[in-house]
Structure 1
Amino acid sequence: MTAQLPSFEFFRLKVNNGVAIVTIDRPPVNAMSRQVYESLDKLIAYIEGAKDIRSVVLACAEDARAWIGGADLHEFLKLTAETRRDRHEYVEGVTDRFYNLSRPTVAAITKPAIGGGMVFASFSDIVVAADTAFFAMPEVDRGLTGGGGAYFNRLNLPVSFIREMVLTGRRFTAQEMDKAGFINHLLPQEQVLAKAIEIAELIATKSGSAVRAIKQSVNLIDQLGWDEGRAAAHAKSVALVEGPDYKEGISAFLERRKPSYNQ
C-alpha cells in the first residue's frame, strides 16, 4: 500500500516513477510571501529525506497567471530596513537550499517567471519553457534591487544581457531567453509539463548516488571556482568507487543489460 504523502500549504506534491511533481498553487500569481517560503522549506526537507524521490519537477497550477510571480509586495509595504534584512536572509537561505537540493530539478515554466520566478528558474538544473512565457526582473520599477542580478552569477549568460534585464526591468520573451541559452527546451505550453516529466523520469532511472554526486560537483565548481571545485568533484568520484552502483553500472554495460541500482 502506498503511503499517503504529506500536505504542504501552497504546494501540491505528487510522486510517480521516482519523480516528485511539485505544483505551486497560491492564486492568482503565486506570489512568494514569507509563509510560502516557510512551506517550501518544509517541502525541501521532506524531499531530502524521501528515498523514493530521485528527481523533481517544479510546475504551477494550470489556471495560474504566473509560474512564480515574485515577492508578495503587500508584505514589502510593511518592511523596515531591519525586517527587510531579516526577510532577505531567510529567503536567501531557502533559495540556496533549493539550489543545493540533492535531487535534480526541472523547471516546467508554462506561465511568466517574474522576479523570484527568475531566481527559481535560474536555480533549477534544467529549464523547459512555453513559447508563450516571458521572463522579467522588474525590481528596478519597484524601487528595489532584487539582488542586482547576483543570482545570475551561476548562469552562462552574457553580463550585458543580465544588466539589461535588471536595469530596464523589461519583459524578455521566451524566444529571447532561449537564444541567450537560458532554456533547454522551448515548446508549446501544452507540451511543457510532459517534457519536464519525461526528462525527470529519465534522470530517475540513473544511479541515485551518481546523480547526487554530479549535481553537488557541478554546484561546487560553480561556487568555488574551477580548481577547488574540480578537486571536490574528484573526491566525490573517488567515494563512488566504494558504492554498489559503481560496479553495477559498469557490469551492466559490459554485459549489455539494464543496470539495477540500489542507491
Structure 2
Amino acid sequence: MYEAIVYEVADRVARITLNRPEARNSLSDAMIGELLDALARADADEDVRVIVLTGAGDRAFCAGADLGGLGAKQEAGGSVAGAAAIRESAPFRLFTAFPRLGKPVIARLAGHAVAGGLGLAAACDLVIAADDVKLATPEVNVGLWPMMIMAIINRNVAPKHAFRLYYTGERITAAEGREIGLVTEVVPRAELDARVDALARVIAAKSPVGLRKGRAAFFAIENRPLEDQVEHLLGELVALAGTEDAKEGITAFLERREPNFQGR
C-alpha cells in the first residue's frame, strides 16, 4: 500500500517506519502523504493503542525536508504563498496533525534527527533515543531558518536553549537533547528496541478512553488562563469518570486485580 513508509501492527502497537534510507529518510511530499494516511489509519484502528514512529536504518531517523520536493526554493527567495496554499501544503498538514491524534506517539530514534526530522520527533509525545544519536537545526547554515518546526520545538525547549540550536546549527547529543527537553530517554543502542517495546506495552495496557481524553485535554488547555484550564479539565474529568473504562479501573483497583479496559 505504501512506497515511502512501512506500516505494521502487532500487540496493539502500530509501527510506522520512514523508509527512504538512501535519502536519510528525508520528507518528500509523497512520504508525508503516506505518513498522514498511516497516522489516520492507526488512529482509527480500535486494535491500536500506541503509535511508534521511526526511521529505516541507523544513519538517520529523518534528515528533514526533501529540498526538491517541499518547495524550499520558494522559501529561500520566491514568492510568498497565500494562507490557503500554506494550509493545504504537506508540511502544514503533517505538523498540525499530531495534536489531533487520539493515541500516544513514541518516536524511536536510532539515527540522527535534524531540521524537519527534529521537528517531527519533537511533535511526538515521547522520544526514546540511542545514546549515539545527534540532533540539530542546521537551516541557518544555508541561509534559512527552522521556521515551521520552531513552532514545535519552542513548545519543548526554553528560549535560551532554542536560540542556541537556531543560531549555531550545531549538532547536540541525545543526552543534551534530554537535558533541554527534546528527548525523553537516552539508552544504549543495543537496548533501544527493548526499551521502546517495553514502554509501548506499558502504555498500551492503559485505558484507550483515558489516554484519548487526557491527550486531547493536554492540547486543549494550552495558552488558556488558569481559570479556563481548570474549568475545562474538571468537565473532562466528570465525563471521563462516567466511562466504562473508568468504572472498570476503579473496580479492579478495589478488587486488587489488573483492569480489563475495552476502550469505552
| Residues in 1 aligned to 2:62 and 2:260: alpha-carbon distance in whole angstroms | 37
Shift of 1:88: 7.0
Q: Out of 78, 81, 84, which is 2:79 matched to? A: 81
Question: After the TM superposition, which of the residue ranges 81-90 and 211-220 deviates more from structure 2?
Answer: 81-90
Q: Cα gap change, 1:13/1:226 in structure 2, threshold over 3 Å: closer, same or farther?
A: farther
Alpha carbons 2:99, 2:216 under 8 Å: kept:
no
Shift of 1:225: 5.5
| Residues in 2 aligned to 1:119 and 1:233: alpha-carbon distance in whole angstroms | 28
Give the structure 2 partner of residue 182 of structure 1.
182
Q: How does 1:91-102 map to 2 (within 5 A)?
A: 91-102=91-102
- Is 2:134 aligned against 1:139? no
Q: Out of 1, 25, 31, which is 1:30 matched to? A: 25
* SS of equivalent to 1:32: coil
Tell me the amino acid that sits aligned with residue 128 of structure 2. Answer: V
Tell me the amino acid that sits aligned with residue 151 of structure 2. Answer: A
Q: How does 1:40-189 map to 2 (within 5 A)?
A: 40-62=35-57, 64-75=58-69, 76=71, 79=74, 80-82=78-80, 86=85, 90=89, 91-147=91-147, 149-155=150-156, 157-189=157-189
| Residues in 1 aligned to 2:154 and 2:73: alpha-carbon distance in whole angstroms | 30
Shift of 1:223: 5.0
* SS of equivalent to 1:14: strand
State the TM-score, normalizing by the size of structure 1.
0.89
Q: Which runs of 5 or more structure 2 residues have no equivalent in the other structure?
A: none
Alpha carbons 1:154, 1:222 under 8 Å: kept:
no
Give the structure 2 partner of residue 255 of structure 1.
255
Give the structure 1 partner of residue 5 of structure 2.
11
* SS of equivalent to 2:221: helix
Question: After the TM superposition, which of the residue ranges 98-107 and 250-259 deviates more from structure 2?
Answer: 98-107
| Residues in 1 aligned to 2:212 and 2:95: alpha-carbon distance in whole angstroms | 18
- Is 2:233 aligned against 1:233? yes
Output one character per residue of 1:22-66: Cα deviation in whole Å (capped at 9) or x when no partner. 11101220111111111111112211211101011111112x521
Alpha carbons 1:152, 1:162 under 8 Å: kept:
yes
Q: Which runs of 5 or more structure 1 residues have no equivalent in the other structure?
A: 1-6
Give the structure 2 partner of residue 218 of structure 1.
218
Shift of 1:150: 2.6
Question: After the TM superposition, which of the residue ranges 120-129 and 226-235 deviates more from structure 2?
Answer: 226-235
| Residues in 1 aligned to 2:14 and 2:88: alpha-carbon distance in whole angstroms | 27
Give the structure 2 partner of residue 4 of structure 1.
none
Q: Cα gap change, 1:229/1:258 in structure 2, threshold over 3 Å: closer, same or farther?
A: same
Alpha carbons 1:10, 1:36 under 8 Å: kept:
yes
| Residues in 2 aligned to 1:231 and 1:138: alpha-carbon distance in whole angstroms | 42
| Residues in 1 aligned to 2:146 and 2:112: alpha-carbon distance in whole angstroms | 17
Alpha carbons 1:129, 1:183 under 8 Å: kept:
yes
| Residues in 2 aligned to 1:27 and 1:201: alpha-carbon distance in whole angstroms | 27
Alpha carbons 1:67, 1:111 under 8 Å: kept:
yes
Tell me the amino acid that sits aligned with residue 125 of structure 1. Answer: D
Shift of 1:117: 1.3
Shift of 1:136: 0.4
State the TM-score, normalizing by the size of structure 2.
0.89
Corresponding residue pairs, total: 255
